Amino acid sequence: MKIIIVGCGRVGYSLAGKLNADDNDVVVVDVSAEKVAETTAQFDVMGVVGNGATFSVLQEAGIADADLLIAVTNSDELNLLCCMIAKKEGNCKTVARIKDPEYSKEAQYLQKQLDLAAVINPEYEAAKEIARVLRFPSAVRIEPFGEGKVELISIRLGAGNLLVGQSVREIMPKLRANVQFAAVERGDEAYIVHGDTVFEEKDVLTFVSTPKDAVDFLTKIRRKRHAVKDALIVGGGVITRYLCDILGSSVALKIIEKNHDLCEEFASKYPKTTVINANPSDYALLKEQGIEKAEAFVALASLDEENILLSLFAKEWGVKKLVSKINRIDYDGVVAKLDLDTVVCPKNLTADIILRHVRSAKNVHGSNMQNFYNVVQDQVEAAEFIVREGSAVVGKPISELPWKQGVLVASIVRDGKVILPRGNDSILAGDSVIMVTKDVALFDIEDALA
């Protein structure tokens, strides 16, 4: 596919690398010559310097024969304008990143009226992910598949966990849990789980199950399974606003924000939420506000460094559930070593959603991609496919199909029922199939076959 990316910020830069790795013909556009040069020097992509909302610049980028335009500048209005011009002057699909809550309310209207393939709100996606892990505090991350019937859940195995020192083959008969172990993240490496995999302390284990069966499994391995009752949030930005909307009164929230006007806005709109106008970096204030008693601490300040330090402080005071927002994608490796529990990166979430749309547009054979999630960045992926009639995977027992190394059929949803497949199970046309892969990029379910 020929893809034009307007905006060479962190999202645009990351997308350029991922889409180029997927063998797409990528052109990046930005008003900053420095950012364009940095992106084109790092990846095998073309670059155009200029305003992507002008016809002349898009014409230079090749809009006439482009398949997709992705607008991810820092301006919502500019992104929408880029898409409008692209639809008028080219024959391509368009994707716009929208951050402003006011525009977000009109997302469906904008998508329909402007004929956009997708409208993506990274802050809202981040808020949804945070809400999910507050519901399941034992989880590092949770991603729903199969219209919410199946969840991909990651947990960290601490000292004394029942799984540590046990192989999958040994532990499953003892637990009798209806879950499918999928992947293990160990240090800088990640692996697809098999019968002989032996779990180690500090492993991040990803498993697939229904929400109900996940609760049963967490109970059996003695992990907290109940939603948190209260949370202390640092920062009153857009994500915090979405989080208040999503959680409602189900979690008692206390927000610390230094901007007085924002505090008044939150207090007016969310009367059941405690709002404190103060500097969240004041450690004495955090202790005064009972950080040691909080069930969860959510760091949503604007600076990554502040979120990291505040989360480490909360960890020292024994807060059981930590959530930290990180904007800089290049911090991933460093942050992973700090053991900060759940780390949410809106830019990574945005890239995942766009990658799903790109790959979905390219699979034309045996299936249609419904969902995509980076379980471990650049190592392990999860993808959901609706299998078509005539696909090469249909009808044969799973154990008899020639799967590539590093591929796992994690779950099948058939007629609303969830199947955690074994070797004798078969995939049928119409099934929703969740695949987990290591170093294997899937555009179509048949790509998993050798």
pTM (two decimals): 0.88
Q: What percent of the chain has pLDDT over 70?
A: 97
| Residues 83 and 98 placed together within one structural domain of the fold | yes
Among 289, 319, 349, give the residue marking a domain's end.
319
Whether the predicted pLDDT of 153 surpasses 80 = yes
- Please report whether residue 333 resides in a domain: no
Whether the predicted pLDDT of 62 surpasses 80 = yes
Whether the predicted pLDDT of 361 surpasses 80 = no
| Residues 116 and 130 placed together within one structural domain of the fold | no
- Please report whether residue 91 resides in a domain: yes
Residue 221 tokens read as 């391995």
| Residues 19 and 82 placed together within one structural domain of the fold | yes
What residue type is assigned to position 77 of the chain? Answer: E
| Residues 164 and 93 placed together within one structural domain of the fold | no
- Please report whether residue 205 resides in a domain: yes
| Residues 13 and 114 placed together within one structural domain of the fold | yes
For the chain, the average pLDDT equals 91
- Please report whether residue 326 resides in a domain: no
Whether the predicted pLDDT of 187 surpasses 70 = yes
| Residues 33 and 115 placed together within one structural domain of the fold | yes
Confidence of residue 281 (pLDDT cuts 50, 70, 90): confident
- Please report whether residue 110 resides in a domain: yes
- Please report whether residue 164 resides in a domain: yes
- Please report whether residue 26 resides in a domain: yes
Q: Which of 115-119, 123-127, 200-204, 205-209 has the lowest mean pLDDT?
A: 115-119
| Residue 321 pLDDT | 93
| Residues 71 and 112 placed together within one structural domain of the fold | yes
- Choose among 396, 412, 352: nearest CA to 376: 352
Q: How far apart are CA 431 and CA 381, in angstroms?
A: 19
Among 159, 187, 220, give the residue marking a domain's end.
220
CATH code: domain of residue 391: 3.30.70.1450
CATH code: domain of residue 38: 3.40.50.720
> What domain range is 286 assigned to?
230-319
Q: Which of 229-233, 433-437, 440-444 has the lowest mean pLDDT?
A: 440-444
* CB 359 within 8 Å of CB 370: no
Among 120, 149, 170, give the residue marking a domain's end.
120
Q: How far apart are CA 411 and CA 415, in angstroms?
A: 13
Q: How far apart are CA 410 and CA 435, in angstroms?
A: 5
| Residues 168 and 216 placed together within one structural domain of the fold | yes
- Please report whether residue 393 resides in a domain: yes
Tally of domains within the chain: 4
